[in-house]
């Protein structure tokens, strides 16, 4: 019962959860590719953190590709893989935002981290709701 409390019926634009999940996937892919490019640029300019971000962005791009595949083929396990890893990303983003504010007093950067976490949370709600709709489709066939 508590599981169904956080399920959406449509995406914010009024489109279906499937279309909303595809929009989330495409936006995530575009942002991941931009992040990858910026991280490579940072790494080539001597910023060691840039190379760590390259690895993170590559993993995110792979997970988005799995999400797109899961949506296209209606494979719930691929959709859920993206949901769970993005949940971990949100937790890390919130902690990073807290550390940025506390350690460097860069409040605006910390606020940006929190804003990103809020947007990612909505993305998870859309994709998780789509996943739940896939599960409800799979249940009758398993009996």
Q: How confident is the model at residue 142 (pLDDT cuts 50, 70, 90)?
A: very low
Q: Please, what is the end-to-end C-alpha distance for the chain in angstroms?
A: 22
**Does residue 10 come out as left (phi exceeding 0), alpha (psi in the -120 to 50 range) or beta?**
beta
Buried b (16+ CB within 10 A) or exposed e, 34-44: ebbeebeebbe
- pLDDT at site 83: 95
User: How far is Cα 74 from Cα 42, in angstroms, rounded to an integer?
Assistant: 37
Residue 80 pLDDT > 70: yes
Query: Residues 103, 108, 111, 112: what is their CA dihedral angle, to the nearest 10 degrees?
Result: -110
Q: What integer best gives the mean pLDDT of the chain? A: 86
């Amino acid at each position: 019962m508590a599981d169904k409390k956080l399920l959406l019926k449509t995406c914010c634009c009024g489109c279906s959860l499937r279309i909303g999940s595809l929009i989330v996937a495409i936006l995530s892919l575009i942002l991941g590719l931009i992040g990858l490019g910026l991280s490579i640029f940072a790494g080539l300019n001597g910023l060691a953190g840039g190379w760590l971000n390259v690895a993170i962005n590559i993993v995110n791009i792979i997970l988005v590709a799995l999400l797109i595949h899961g949506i296209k083929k209606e494979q719930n396990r691929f959709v859920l893989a993206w949901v769970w890893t993005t949940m971990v990303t949100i937790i890390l983003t919130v902690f990073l935002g807290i550390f940025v504010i506390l350690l460097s007093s860069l409040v605006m950067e910390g606020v940006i981290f929190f804003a990103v976490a809020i947007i990612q949370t909505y993305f998870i709600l859309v994709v998780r709701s789509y996943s739940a709709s896939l599960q409800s489709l799979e249940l009758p066939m398993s009996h």
